[in-house]
Amino acid sequence: MRRAVRLAATAAGRTSPNPVVGCVILGADGTAVGEGFHRGAGQPHAEVEALAAAGDRARGGTAVVTLEPCAHHGRTGPCAEALLRAGIARVVYAVPDPNPTAAGGARRLLDGGVEVVGGVLRAEAERGNELWLTAQRRGRPAVTWKFGCTLDGRAAAPDGTSRWITGPESRRDAHALRAQHDAVLVGSGTLRVDDPHLGLRHGVTGVPPLRVVLDRDGTVAPHARVLDDAAPTLVVTGPRAPKPVLPARHEVLRVPVTDGALDMAVLLDRLWDRGVRSVLLEGGARLAAWCAARGLVDRVVACVAPLLLGAAGRPVLGDVGAPTLAAALRLRLDEVTRLGDDVRLLLRARDLPGGDGGPEGGGA
């Protein structure tokens, strides 16, 4: 199963709106005879790739797969049927499929006389497929809030300068994080002050994420860096804002304004309809606070630099409406990594797998 998890990770960031999946086929004598992983939407599923590599050696053998084999007809046929046709005698999987459209493969295999074992190394497989699983369980794209800050929680100096609070290792890590997500999102303040590009640099390769910029009043500058041809950009405006004139590759999306801000819950629903399953929230103390206060943040990646700016520095997070310590938004600290002189913290909502509650519910 660990080999299957590693195979699944090979295509991380390239399979959306599908999950990452890895599969290893063992022959009847227990030796590995084939393996595969899902390469992207419309491509063969991991089980089909592994069965093709195994050929007739799969008959009477075992399929070890990171996600419950699917039972539905999509762009490709159901994997449960492929396993039955190949004569697989036993299927071992890590994570039950939470997608109601695709679920049911384990039952189909059992009905076909196949021995089925679920939950093997589930935690490891969950982590490798975390963004997709979170999106399926939430019914909206998974949201990761990423920021860099000083030791005292400041995202910029009093004069607004923020380049560079964190070091080069943290900056490269931020671009690698972008490559793992379907979309990267910034607010209008970040768009206006920093003029971000939001593409992939620092030697990071992969498919650039959809760039999403909030522009409630429709005032995005025509020469903004996010409007180049490096990746598509979605400019999100309010319902009454003038429509920005954009290069042909880019689009305008209108969403309602709620409590004085573009409604992120509606935006996430619209992104889901476009096939977006993960969003990296990168810019805006007020935007991050709006999302966090409404349970729309699933993970936090914080790169903390050994700097002090003091009270005059600009805080990394706006008001989340927590007047007391008891009302604070609490996260679970899961990973701590040193990046050069910085420290990278990965925190998760407490109701995500590995948190203090069950696998479903609201965010941070």
By 3-state DSSP, what share of the chain in percent is helix, strand and coil, each rounded to 5? 25, 25, 50
| CB within 8 Å of 54: residues ≥ 6 apart | 25, 27, 33, 34, 61, 86
Q: What is the CB neighbour count within 10 angstroms for residue 27?
A: 17
| CB within 8 Å of 16: residues ≥ 6 apart | 41, 132, 182, 275, 276, 277, 278
Q: Which of 35, 47, 49, 126 is catalytic?
A: 47
335 catalytic, yes or no?
Answer: no
Q: Strands, DSSP E only, in the chain?
A: 22-26, 32-37, 62-67, 90-95, 115-117, 142-150, 154-156, 183-186, 210-214, 233-237, 251-254, 257-258, 261-262, 278-283, 299-305, 314-315, 331-339, 342-349
Rounded to an integer, what distance in angstroms lies between the CA atom of residue 271 and that of residue 265? 10
Q: Could you tell me which of 47, 46, 178, 170 has the C-alpha nearest to residue 109?
A: 47
Contact, 250 vs 233, CB < 8 A? yes
Rounded to an integer, what distance in angstroms lies between the CA atom of residue 193 and that of residue 181? 24
Active site residues per annotation: 47
